[in-house]
A and B are shown apart, each in its own frame.
Chain A
Amino acid sequence: MSDPERTARVKKFRRLPIDGQSLKRLIEAGLIWLRTNQEIVNSLNVFPVPDGDTGTNMTLTMQAAWNEVKDSGVRNLGEMAALISKGALMGARGNSGVITSQILRGFSRSVNDKATLDVETLVKAFGEARDTAYKGVVRPVEGTILTVIKEVAIATEAALGPVKDPIEMLEVAVKAADEAVKKTPDLLPVLKQAGVVDSGGKGLFFILEGMLRHVYGDSLETPTMSLQPMSAMNLQGALEEVEEGQDYEIVVDFVPLGELDLGSFYGRLEEMGTSIQVGEGEGMYRMHIHVPTEKRYEPIDYIMGIGTVTKVAIENLLAQMEEIQKSAQIKFATVEPGNIAVVVVSPGQGLSKIFASLGVAAVVAGGQSMNPSTQDILNSFENLPTDKVIILPNNKNIILAANQAKEVTVKKVFVVPTRTVPQGLTAMLALLPDGDLEAVAEKMIKAMSAVKTGEITIATRTVEIDGVSVKDGQVIALLDGKLALAAESVEQGVMDLLEKADAGGYELITLFYGAGMAHAEANRIKDVIRGKYSNLEIEVQEGGQPHYQFIISIE
């Protein structure tokens, strides 16, 4: 909409009294705008939280409010507000939905006896909405939707006087909500850690902004161009969602020449492909897109025209998909009767494949927080055509079950007490299938101590162990099973861990990346390591293990 058109529209709004029907339209606009941006709100959820779908819950709550009034012809403001409040109450979903319904309830009670909305009424209603929202909880958590409605109430109260009409006041409210949302990470550390703003607060902002966009006559159907912190970009799980025309994944890091115009940037990218994400951090931008084969260089060429490209990552998603489907079948070593069979416990598909390639006869799925039973281990080798078996538990909590399996079988079993996956892999190198069982097991035990194991994961609670204090959600690194350090990012965790392990004095570092880690990201970290340890051999392998971003072998 052009500026003169917009001005005319706003003027018209200013002239007409805001009655029940106008309020109904505003609620509808709030709902549509929230629904349009629902996924943005959902994506702000901090893992792990119990209320995991804020955007959906708030949208359903607003939808219920709208359903209550959509056929109503009521002109009186108070009556309309009461209907909206009732609808929201009946349809409130989840924590954020309940708070939304309370905000509407407070608003509604405040305008109860008004036929139309003037500026004083609006400000009073925001105040009442805040008071009602805060009454619903014993221990209000700041940095949430509650803070946002509070800041809106404060800002509108302060603006009363100079600001003389409700539309202008709505502008004040939207601006205050926007600022309050941006401040939420300072009030709630868990948000800061995750690099996001509060989801419920953002949802409330969208509702208010939708109302204002309706007044301006702006589109409510196209989602906001979003620029997220780089750390919050979700570049994982891309393979599960590959569709027609998404043959290549392109990630470009760049520094724009001037101010980046998000609108035209998105517009141009949308012509090329899908799954567009743009992230920002420390003056750098990262763009992610899926494009068809013939357009695989277009985003790079385009971005080179508007800035300095620092790094490009291209992945052939189609080929990777085929690879994955092909490799789902693991080929284990066939055991000759009388030879030694090795059975391992493996926490991930990728690791199982590597073990199989080293001559393992069978794999038992298991690892951290998913310990296999004695029976599982027993089943894995009972039917092998040999009576000589070596078990590699690869986790300290599974050694016991492996030993029990040894007790209950008639076969001759040795448990080589490997406590980590890298120990198991190193031990496998000492396997001689037709050797003497005891001698081979001895050799394996000797071999496994030559490797150091690093593990990178996310802390699930705040704790202090061995003088290392760790906050819930922080990246932590374990060296040979002991908590070694905490870090702010996976990359930093890996680097600090290698430092601590004196990696410089070794020859080979292998990174086994976990199920939640993108291949491109693992490769990027490999490059960072190479930058520091240029004399070492560095390999990246798909481990597929859950919980651990990386299992690292240093030998």
Chain B
Amino acid sequence: MGEETTTLGGIHISPTAVATIAYHAVLQSYGVVGLAPKNLADGIVSTITREPLRGITVRYKGEDIDIDINIIIEYGTRIAAVAESVASAVRFHVEKALGLHVNSVNVHVAGLRISDSD
């Protein structure tokens, strides 16, 4: 739930903080060339966003965290393998930094960027 009660008081970890950690994990993942806004209404113009919350949704469900990520992948890479490493990198970094359990990481491939066609 992103909240922890200690003898000193409460600690609250905002979804933005979680999203920021996830964002950095995503950008270091091989094959990902950008994040995409959650929906078209969010921004038709910028398909590649530098702002973490535009492409990442974090939800708390009881004790668990659910993360949704919208990514753009480099054309020519194996999409399943890239998505899988994104999911595991995000889970790893969020759990390591926050010590909270990540229930699910859903990776949505919002688009492909074609640098070179074969």
For residue A349, CB closer than 8 A to chain B, the reply is no
- Asked if A137 contacts B28 (CB within 8 A), the reply is yes
CB-contact partner of B78 in A48, A92, A460, under 8 A: A92
For residue A102, CB closer than 8 A to chain B, the reply is yes
- Asked if A138 contacts B77 (CB within 8 A), the reply is no
For residue B100, CB closer than 8 A to chain A, the reply is no
Closest to B98 in A: A461
For residue A109, CB closer than 8 A to chain B, the reply is yes
- Asked if B27 contacts A89 (CB within 8 A), the reply is no
Closest to B35 in A: A138
Residues of B within 8 A of A93 (CB): 81
- Asked if B85 contacts A98 (CB within 8 A), the reply is yes
Residues of A within 8 A of B77 (CB): 89, 92, 98, 101-102, 136
For residue B89, CB closer than 8 A to chain A, the reply is yes
- Asked if B27 contacts A138 (CB within 8 A), the reply is yes
- Asked if A102 contacts B29 (CB within 8 A), the reply is no
| With known contacts A90-B78, A105-B76, A460-B96, A51–B27 Cβ distance under 8 A | no
Residues of B within 8 A of A98 (CB): 30-31, 77-78, 81-82, 85
- Asked if A136 contacts B33 (CB within 8 A), the reply is yes
Q: Which of B78, B85, B88, B97 has the most CB of A within 10 A?
A: B78
Q: Kindly provide the distance from the CB of B47 to the nearest chain A CB, expressed in whole angstroms.
A: 14
For residue A139, CB closer than 8 A to chain B, the reply is yes
Q: Kindly provide the distance from the CB of B30 to the nearest chain A CB, expressed in whole angstroms.
A: 5
CB-contact partner of A137 in B30, B84, B96, B97, under 8 A: B30
Residues of B within 8 A of A350 (CB): none
- Asked if B30 contacts A48 (CB within 8 A), the reply is no
For residue A97, CB closer than 8 A to chain B, the reply is yes
Q: Kindly provide the distance from the CB of B4 to the nearest chain A CB, expressed in whole angstroms.
A: 12
What is the bound-complex CA distance between A208 and B116, given in angstroms? Answer: 25
Residues of A within 8 A of B78 (CB): 89-92, 97-98, 101
Q: Number of A interface residues, CB 8 Å?
A: 30
Q: Kindly provide the distance from the CB of B88 to the nearest chain A CB, expressed in whole angstroms.
A: 4
What is the bound-complex CA distance between A51 and B93, given in angstroms? Answer: 12
What is the bound-complex CA distance between A301 and B97, given in angstroms? Answer: 50
Please, what's the 1-or-0 string for A164-182, where 1 marks a CB less than 8 Å from any CB in chain B? 0000000000000000000
Residues of A within 8 A of B82 (CB): 98
Q: Kindly provide the distance from the CB of A89 to the nearest chain B CB, expressed in whole angstroms.
A: 6
Q: Kindly provide the distance from the CB of B35 to the nearest chain A CB, expressed in whole angstroms.
A: 9
| With known contacts A102-B76, A102-B77, A137-B30, A461–B116 Cβ distance under 8 A | no
CB-contact partner of A48 in B32, B74, B92, under 8 A: B92
Closest to B89 in A: A50
Closest to B82 in A: A98
For residue B46, CB closer than 8 A to chain A, the reply is no
Please, what's the 1-or-0 string for A97-118, where 1 marks a CB less than 8 Å from any CB in chain B? 1110110010011000000000
- Asked if A137 contacts B81 (CB within 8 A), the reply is no
Q: Kindly provide the distance from the CB of A248 to the nearest chain B CB, expressed in whole angstroms.
A: 39
Closest 7 CB pairs of A and B: A92-B78, A50-B92, A50-B88, A136-B74, A95-B85, A135-B115, A138-B27
Q: Residues of B at under 8 Å CB distance from A?
A: 27-34, 74, 76-78, 81-82, 84-85, 88-89, 91-92, 96-97, 115-116, 118
List, sorted by A's number, 5 A–B pairs whose CB atoms are closer than 8 Å.
A49-B92, A50-B85, A97-B81, A99-B30, A138-B28
